[in-house]
Amino acid sequence: MVREFRLPETSRLTEKPSDDAQQSQRALKNLRYVLGSVNEDAQRAWSKLWEQMKSGVTPAGMVTPTMQEGFKPECGWAEFLEEFWLLKHYLDYISRLCRSSSES
């Protein structure tokens, strides 16, 4: 007859995560999903802004003479500024989320 030997739960080297730890991990995972989503929106807004401006900038980052004479976005000022404000909104939101999560 073979007897099975098991260590008691208290003598294990690694403890089972508590419900609080699991909830914290779940909250952190959810925060990462939210931040990732807002970050994607911010990157999309930046891409739209850059698409309007990149023709007036050289690969080295120099502003072309045409751009110096006056920048006029192809999409129009209303749409350009809307994207600009959306980008600010997304960055503010990310900043608030990061501040609030570090205060908890």
The residue ranges of every structural domain in the chain are: 38-54+65-104
Residue-level pLDDT at 52: 93
Q: Give me the mean pLDDT over the 66-92 stretch.
A: 93
Give the Cα separation of 85 and 7 in Å (integer): 60
Give the Cα separation of 82 and 76 in Å (integer): 10
pLDDT at 3 over 70: no
Residue type, 65: P
Tokens encoding 96: 């608030």
Q: Residues 5-51: pLDDT tens digits? A: 565 555 555 556 678 888 888 888 888 899 999 999 999 999 999 99
Q: Give me the mean pLDDT over the 62-81 stretch.
A: 91
pLDDT at 67 over 80: yes
| Dihedral (Cα; 60, 62, 67, 68), 10-degree rounding | 180
Residue type, 47: S
Residue-level pLDDT at 98: 86
Residue-level pLDDT at 40: 95
